[in-house]
Chains A and B, each alone.
Chain A
Amino acid sequence: MNVWIEKQKYLIDFTLASLARRKAKNLGLLLVYALIVFLLASVMLFTHALRQAANELLAGAPEVVLQRMVAGRHDLIPPGYLERIGRLRGVQEKQGRLWGYYYDPVVKANYTFMVADDRALAPGTLVVGAGLARTRGVAPGNLISFRAYSGKLFTFSIADILPAKSELVSADLVLLSEADFRAFFDIPPGHFTDITLRVANPLEVRNVAGKLAQQFPDSRPILREEILRTYDSIFSWREGVVLALATLALLAFAILAWEKASGLSADERREIGILKAIGWETGDVLRMKFWEGALLSLSAFLLGYLAAYVHVFHFAASLMAPVLKGWAVLYPRFELSPVIDGLQVTTLFFFTVFPYAAATLVPIWRVAITDPDAVMRG
C-alpha cells in the first residue's frame, strides 16, 4: 500500500512538473475549461435557486384561485359569487381579491396594483415593491401620482416599501386600500378580480376545484400546485435552452481536448517514449496523464463552480439573469439564498470532467501503447 501511495505521489509530482513546463498552454486550457463550467454551473445554480425561492414564496399562497371567464378572457367576479360558493366541504376560508395592472408611462413599466389582505392601509397611502421604489426613486413619506384609466390623477403617500427578500414576486407590486383600488380602477362595490380559497387538506384540493368547476361553469379554478408547476416548467425551459447552448460549448471543448490529445506535439510523444524506454509501463504513463487531466479538470471545475457561486449568489447572476428570469421592465433585484444540490453538483461534475478525461485519455493511450524503441532512433 505504501509503495502504491509513494508511486502515486511520484506520478503526481511529475505531473505537476509537466503542467508547469507547459504553463501557457495549460493555463489557456484551464481558463476555457473553467469558463464552460462557470456557464453551466451558473445556469444550474441560478434556476435551482429561483425554483427554490418561488416555492418558498408561493408556499403561503392560497390553494385555489377562482377566476371568471367571459369569451375566453378573464373577467370580474360579479356580486353574489362569494355567497353562492356557500359552505364547500374542506374550504377553510374564501375571500374576494382585487388586483390589476397599471402601465406607468413615466418609466414605461407595468405595475401590479393589489388590495392588501393582510394589512390595513389608510386611504391615500400605498405600500410599494422595492423595484418600483428604486425605479421611481421614492421612499416612505414621499408622494407619488398615477393617472387612472379614467384620466383622473390620484396622488398617494408612500407608507412603506416591501422587503427586498420578497422582490422576486413583489418588485412591481403596489398595495393599496380597497376604497382606493375601487376608485382608481372604477370597480363597483361587490365585484372582485378573483376569489381565493384556502383548503387545509392537500388531498381535498382537487375535489374542491372539481366542485367549483361544476358549480360555476363560467369560471376556472387555478391550483397552487399548477402555478408552481408552471413556474417550474418555465424555469426548466429557460434552463434547458441555455444548457443546450452551453452543452454545445462543452462539446466543442471536448473536440478541442481530443484534438489537443490526438495532436500530441512531437515533444510530448518523445517524452512518452522516453518514459517507457526507461522503465515506465503503459499503465504508468496513462496514470500520469490521468493525474494531469484530473488536476486540470478538477481545478477548472472548482474554479468555474466557485466563480458561478459568487456570480449567482453575490452578483445576482447579472450575466444571464435577463435570459433566465424572463422579460420585464422592472427586473427584480434580489439576492437568492445559496442553495447547493448534491445531485446537481454530481451531474455537472459528470458532464464536465468525464468528457474531458475520455477525450484526452484515448488518444494518449494510443501513443502510450506503441513500442518505445523509437527513442533509440532519436
Chain B
Amino acid sequence: MIELRQIHKAFNAGRENEFRALNGIDLQLPAQRVTAFRGPSGSGKTTLLSIIGCLARPTSGRVRLHGRDISGLPERFLTDIRRRTFGFVFQQFNLISGLSATENVMLPAYPLGGDRRALQARAEDLLAGLRLAHRRTTHVELLSGGEQQRVAIARALINEPPVIIADEPTANLDTALAMEFMAIIEQLADAGRTVLLSSHDPLLVDSSLVDRVIDMRDGRIVAAAAAAGAGG
C-alpha cells in the first residue's frame, strides 16, 4: 500500500522561474492493482511517479510505504527501498548501449552482489519469458523498439520488485507492440504485482487491464475512478 499526503513539488523553488509540478496530492494506491495516471503533458504524471518510485523527493508532504513514512529518509535508504520495491520501465527505455541484453537486465542487481551464475540464469529466464532468449547476447542498440522495451521490462523485474512503474510505456510503440506490452502487464498483474502507469494513450488507459484511472491536470488530481473494465 502506497499513501501520499499533501504532496507538493516545485522546481526552481523561490526563483523567478519557479514551476509547481504538483499541488497537494492526496492519494492511496492499493497493492496488486493496475493504476493508470492520465493527463496531458505537464499535468504532473511523471513527477508523481518519480516521487512514488523514490527517484525524487517532494518539496513538502509525506509518502508512506506500507504505513512507514519514507519522505525524510537519507538517500542510501531511499535507494535501497527503490531497488527492492520498484521496477521501472522508462518511456525512452534507458538501456545502456554497448552492453548485451542480459548485461542490461543484470545491472540493477549488481549492487546486491549476489551469485553471478544465479543472477545470469535469472536474467536469461526473464528474457526467455519475454521471448528474447535468442537476443540475450545482442547489444541492446541493435534491438528493435519492441525488443528494447521487453529488455527494459526484464530489467525492471530482475530484483523481483512488488511494484512496477511504467512511464508512457506505449508512447514509442506501434499498436501491435502496444498490445504486446499490455499482455505482459496483464501477466504481471495476474502474478500479483502492483502496476502504476502514466499514459494518455486510450488503447492502454481504457483497456480492461487497468483497474483504476486517475486523471490529472496542472499538478492536481481532477478525477479518480475505477476503470470501465475493472473487475475489482
Chain A interface residues (CB < 8 Å from chain B): 2-7, 9-11, 14, 17-18, 20-21, 270-271, 274-284, 369, 371-373, 375-378
A371-B98 in contact (CB<8A):
no
A346 to B81, CA, bound (A): 42
Nearest-Cβ distance from residue A367 to partner chain B, whole angstroms: 14
Asked if residues B57 and A375 are in contact (CB atoms below 8 Å), the reply is no
B187 at the interface (CB under 8 A from A): no
> With A3-B113, A6-B115 in contact, do A279 and B96 touch (Cβ < 8 Å)?
no
Q: Which residues of B contact A280 (CB under 8 A)?
A: 79, 108, 110-111
- Given A7-B111, A279-B159, does the pair A376, B46 have CB atoms closer than 8 Å? yes
Residue B228 CB within 8 A of the other chain: no
Contact B55 A371 (CB under 8 A): yes
B94 at the binding interface (Cβ < 8 Å)? yes
Task: Check B94 against A10 for contact (C-beta < 8 Å).
Answer: no
Contact of B75 among A278, A281, A376 (CB under 8 A): A281
Residue from B55, B91, B115 in contact with A277 in the complex, judged by beta carbons closer than 8 Å: B55
- For A369, what are the chain B residues with a Cβ–Cβ distance below 8 Å? 75
Which residue from B97, B110, B112, B115 sits with its C-beta under 8 Å from A21?
B97
Q: A9-B116, A278-B108, A371-B56 are in contact. Are A378 and B91 (CB under 8 A)?
A: yes
Question: In whole angstroms, what is the CA distance A369 to B79 when docked?
Answer: 12
Residues of chain B having any CB pair with chain A under 8 Å: 46-47, 49-50, 55-57, 75-76, 79-80, 82-83, 88, 90-92, 94, 96-99, 103, 107-108, 110-116, 155, 159, 167
User: In this complex, what residue of B is CB-closest to A281?
Assistant: B79
Residues of B within 8 A of A21 (CB): 97-99
Residues of chain A within 8 A (CB-CB) of B50 are 373, 376
Chain B residues within an 8 Å CB radius of A17: 98-99, 103
The distance in angstroms between the C-alpha atoms of A274 and B114, with both chains bound, is: 21
Contact B55 A376 (CB under 8 A): yes
Please, could you name 5 A-B residue pairs with CB atoms under 8 Å apart, sorted by A? A10-B113, A277-B82, A280-B108, A281-B80, A284-B110
Closest to A276 in B: B79
List the A side residues contacting B91 at CB < 8 Å: 376, 378
Determine if A278 and B155 form an interchain contact, defined as CB atoms under 8 angstroms apart.
yes
Residue of B nearest to A14 (CB): B110
Q: Which of A2, A14, A20, A277 contacts B94 (CB 8 A)?
A: A277
| Chain B residue nearest in CB terms to A9 | B116
Pick from A2, A6, A20, A373: contact of B55, CB under 8 Å: A373
Q: Which of B47, B75, B88, B98 is close to A282, meaning CB atoms less than 8 Å apart?
A: B75
Residue of A nearest to B84 (CB): A279
B116-A6 in contact (CB<8A): yes
In the A-B complex, the 6 residue pairs with the smallest Cβ-Cβ separation, listed nearest first, are: A279-B83, A7-B113, A21-B98, A373-B56, A6-B113, A10-B110
- Which of the residues A20, A278, A279, A371 comes within 8 Å of B57, measured between beta carbons? A371
Q: Quick check: B111 and A279 within 8 Å, CB to CB?
A: yes
Contact of A279 with B113 in the complex, beta carbons under 8 Å: no
Give complex CA distance A336, B19 in Å: 71
B81's closest neighbor in chain A, by CB? A279
Query: Which residues of the partner chain B approach A378 to less than 8 Å between Cβ atoms?
Result: 90-92
Q: Do the beta carbons of B96 and A271 come within 8 Å of each other?
A: yes
> Would you call B94 and A375 a contact (CB within 8 A)?
yes
- Looking at the complex, which one of B80, B83, B90 makes contact with A376 (CB distance below 8 Å)? B90
Taking the closest CB of chain B, its distance from the CB of A318, in whole angstroms, is 41
